[in-house]
Structure 1
Amino acid sequence: MDGVAAQQGRRRPGPDRPRPRRRRASSGIRVQRHRHRRGSGGATAGVALTDDAGVRRIATLTVSALAVLIAPPLYLLLDLAVVGRLGGRELAALGVGTLVLSVISTQLTFLSYGTTARSARRFGAGDRAGAVEEGVQASWIAMAVGALLVAIAYPSAPAIMRVLVGAASEDSAVVAADAAQWLRIAMFGVPLILLSMAGNGWMRGVQDTRRPVIYVVVGLSVAAVLVVGLVHGLGPFPRLGLPGSAVANVVGQGVTGTLFAVRVIREASAESKGYAPDRSIIVAQLTMARDLVVRSLSFQICFVSAAAVAARFGVAQVAAHQLVLQLWEFMALFLDSLAIAAQALVGAALGGGRLRVADTVARRVTGVSLVAATAMGAIFAAGAGLIPRIFTSDDAVLDAIGVPWWFFVGMLPIAGVVFALDGVLLGSGDAAFLRTATLTGALVGFLPLIWLSLVFDWGLAGVWSGLVVFMLVRLATVVWRIRSGRWRQAGAERK
């Protein structure tokens, strides 16, 4: 520990002299309060940080992030299973409704990723109060954007669903109406979803690994009980059918969002910070948000285009494509959790001006991510003849799945490096570079190959070749950025 007090000749504590008080951050970076001389005499409070960027620390942050990331998809599986017993129409309506909600949530992940980066830098600089203030301002953005989305989506829900589902037949008209009803209720949970994102962001920044998991699990547990009771009218609950699913979602999100809100209020009070909106911080957060939203839209365009092209090659091909893509998205959650660990640790290191620690984190997280992704790739390679049969018994789909499967296996080690370095760059606040790199990969590598595969009838091999090139372009750009060292300077300047 680079203790300033030791350098100034402070006496060791004895039996008649109390030991200096320590304040331990909830995560593993220890914060020690001490007094140091300034100028000719007076003393003021200072902060010295002990860095813990080992594999165990990375694993702790990764497990916490993974639990938060994986809990909502697991709840969605329960929701689908419960609503599926009502019938095919209700299940289709729920599927379309959750798709819209998912697209909205995906585009607004800047509330968690951007806030993590900014909070971590201030926390690393010893300014925990400033890190909490980032959470307060992100919460204001969450509530404002959430209210705006509710105001837009509530009246337009029927039109949105008619576009997505169509109304050519009686069945499709019923599904569109049911989906619109579900969405109108569920949208009231959006401000709470965004509030939870903001809460996750600043708490990751100060490396609080336990509370976010507890808050998310408590909220989803309440929702799980309610969805079973309200959809089918079990026990003391009324039978609401499909709307019961939306009500359960809103209540569960309300519990989680409220827990995050209470925590940020308590922290702000403890740090003697107010709750009023701060225009300068909000503008800075929205500037970073712009880059992250453009980056996220690039991903969406790529994967929607891939699905659209795959669908033109036949039912078996699109089914095979979607099945492998779901496995890819599952692996992305795991690799994202490692990237989040990199964000928190790199942001804290750069916030304190500890560039060597940031370099160490980048190397270690990348190494762990590469090893984990390669190991998973080996498992999927060994199970190529067995794993797909868990999901389908259709011979045509099983025949078609062989093509994307090996592209998927080969992409995993590449993704291990790319996701980790994405987290490093996000932690340094280098969102503008990531935006440009992702757009370059989409426009130069992915989209041309996707549409050429349609023109020349390359099938799924063409589609997944586009995905591989997309990942390779991203790999080249992020590795170049790390090797250039400019990301460290950008992060240090933004602390």
Structure 2
Amino acid sequence: MVRGRLSGVAQRDTRETAGASRSREILRLAVPAFLALVAEPLFLLADSAIVGHLGTSALAGLGVASAVLLTAVNIFIFLAYGTTAVVARRLGAGDERGAVSAGIDGVWLALMLGAVGAIVTAVLAQPLVQLFGASDAVVAEAVTYLRWSALGIPSMLVVLAATGVLRGLQDTRTPLVASVVGFTGNAALSLLLVHGVGWGIAGAAIGTVIAQTGMALGLVLVVVRGARRLGSSLTFHGAGVLRAARGGIPLLVRTIALRAALLLTTWSAAGLGDEQLAAHQVALTVWSTLAFALDALAIAAQALTGKTLGASDVEGTRAATAVMVRWSVWFGVILAVLIVALHRVIPLGFSQDPDVRSALAAALLVVAVGQPIAGIAFILDGVLIGAGDTRWLAWAQVAATVAYLPMVLAVRLSGAEGTAGLVWLWIAFTGFMTVRSVLMWLRARGDAWMVVGAER
């Protein structure tokens, strides 16, 4: 009996030790990822604050242009997410050289897609902006910002790919350094070029392009050094790039469906008037900033899930997932409390228009309520991406967007105006995030997504 008790105590101590080690590993990856991800949307927050003092039309124009630009870039988020999962799996299986080689293929793919994306965005800037139905003054500002920003798309995609490589190698510190340096440079350049030199909204775009290019060069240099140390090839390999492209298709579908939901939200906001569109732009930027904060655990989930499944550790994968879901929900609660406390303070930094401030304050309350729900969606999205369960994710995201369509159309066609219309729009968007969370939770409860080995 004594021996049985001792054995039970030993097993409990082992589990507690494993749990503590798992928590430290999550924090080691998540804390730098959190700081880096928060820094990324600060590019847009800095532009919003600086451009906001040019007037309501400029701020609203930034909102429309940003919606198009972020769509043009973020539909290729698989360059980061897919690369993280592939590199982490191979690392977990003990093939570090193969992991880096797969990452290099992703960087080459990013350069190719970035060049095409820049040309298409610049050429189609006017018709893309006009789809939102904004006023002529807003359209003019948006087109100017979008055409200049298009020059930075190749660098933005390279940043995604190189960051994915480093995350897969369990390094989230280097992307943090790049983000902090890039954000600081972007804020200084935008302020100088917009108000110092007097280039207006074009100055904000040019400042961001310069900062993103510097980030891309720095991250690529780190990846190249690692490749040379391991003897990995840096040359272009068509078969590897094609494999990376094929593997990214499901995530591309998932991201297009997600961006479609965000674009539908901005389209609906444009029908509420310039003041409400300007308020929505800031509210969406705040939501995006919070999303990046919540996504820090999802980044850790991608890297850890890929590594543990690559090492065939199913039990460790399940345990880490449970811990991260709990943490993400509580983190969402903390963010909600913070936004509620600051919902009347935040608008003061973005506009001098009292109508914009009033609408934004009301919308931020809805943004706050949705944070715990968003936490579930983001963390499980990261887990399933890390597991390579991308085909299911693609169809689930399409289903969520289809479910959102009648919600957002109801707001646009209801005739709701002013602050009330914007509040109802954000309530509908929270409904969309609820659908996403439920679908992810149902999938994570099963075992079909937990495929082990170096290859999915």
| TM-score normalised by the chain length of structure 2 | 0.81
The question of whether the paired residues in 1 share the 8 Å contact of 2:149 and 2:205 is answered with yes
Task: Tell me which of 102, 114, 125 is aligned to 1:146.
Answer: 114
Structure 1 CA distance for aligned equivalents of residues 223 and 33 of structure 2 = 19
> Number of residues paired by the alignment?
431
Counterpart residue type for residue 154 of structure 2: P
Shift of 1:100: 3.3
Q: CA deviation at 1:269?
A: 1.2
Tell me how far apart the structure 2 counterparts of residues 162 and 122 of structure 1 sit (CA, whole Å).
45
Q: Which of 366, 381, 388 is 2:344 aligned to?
A: 388
Work out which structure has the larger RCO, using CA pairs closer than 8 Å and 6 or more positions apart in sequence. Answer: 2
**Letter in structure 2 aligned against 1:431:** T
* Cα deviation 1:246-272 (Å, max 9, x = unaligned): 443333222211112212221111111
**Contact 1:61/1:341, CA 8 A, preserved across alignment:** yes
Unaligned runs of 5+ in 2: 1-17
Superposition deviation, residue 451 in structure 1: 2.7
User: Per-residue displacement from partner, 1:104-145 (whole Å, max 9, x unpaired)?
Assistant: 122121111111111111111111111211220011011111
User: What are the residue-to-residue correspondences of 1:357-372 with 2, within 5 Å?
Assistant: 357-372=316-331
Q: 1:282 is matched by which residue type in structure 2?
A: V
Aligned equivalent of 2:150: 187
Aligned counterpart in structure 1 of residue 440 of structure 2, from 478, 481, 484: 478
The structure with the greater share of residues assigned to helix is 2
1:434 shift after superposition = 1.0
Q: Deviations over 1:193-219 (max 9, x none)?
A: 111111110100111122111223233
1:476 to 1:100, Cα distance in 2 relative to 1, 3 A: closer
CA contact (8 A) 1:449 1:465 kept: no
Are 1:76 and 2:7 counterparts? no
- Please point out which of 84, 90, 94 is paired with 1:116: 84
CA distance in 2, matches of 1:416, 1:148: 34
Task: Give the Cα separation in 2 of the matches to 1:265 and 1:226.
Answer: 28
Which deviates more, 197-206 or 150-159? 150-159
Q: Any stretches of 5+ residues in structure 1 without a counterpart?
A: 1-49
Instruction: Give 1:12's aligned residue.
Output: none
One of 169, 177, 180 as aligned partner of 1:214: 177
In the TM superposition, residue 321 of structure 1 has moved relative to its aligned partner by: 5.9
Distance 1:295 1:193 in 2: 19
Kindly name which structure, 1 or 2, has the bigger radius of gyration based on alpha carbons: 1
Greater CA deviation, 209-218 or 324-333? 324-333
AA of the residue aligned to 2:409: W
Distance 2:31 2:339 in 1: 22
Percent identical pairs in the alignment equals 32
Residue number among 49, 70, 84 corresponding to 1:102 in the alignment: 70
> 8 Å contact 2:68–2:129 — kept in the other structure?
no
Distance in 2 (alpha carbons) for counterparts of 1:225 and 1:399: 29
Counterpart in 2 of 1:494?
Answer: 455
Structure 2 counterparts to residues 122-161 of structure 1, below 5 A: 122-157=90-125, 160=128
Change in Cα spacing, 1:298 to 1:162, as seen in structure 2 (3 Å) is closer
Following the alignment from structure 2 to structure 1, what is the Cα–Cα distance between the partners of residues 133 and 410?
Answer: 28
SS at match of 2:312: coil
Question: Equivalences for 1:9-408 in 2 at 5 Å?
Answer: 54-82=22-50, 96-157=64-125, 160=128, 176=140, 180=143, 182-231=145-194, 243-309=202-268, 312=271, 324-380=283-339, 383=341, 387-388=343-344, 390-391=346-347, 394=354, 398=358, 408=367
Distance in 2, matches of 1:196 and 1:464, equals: 31
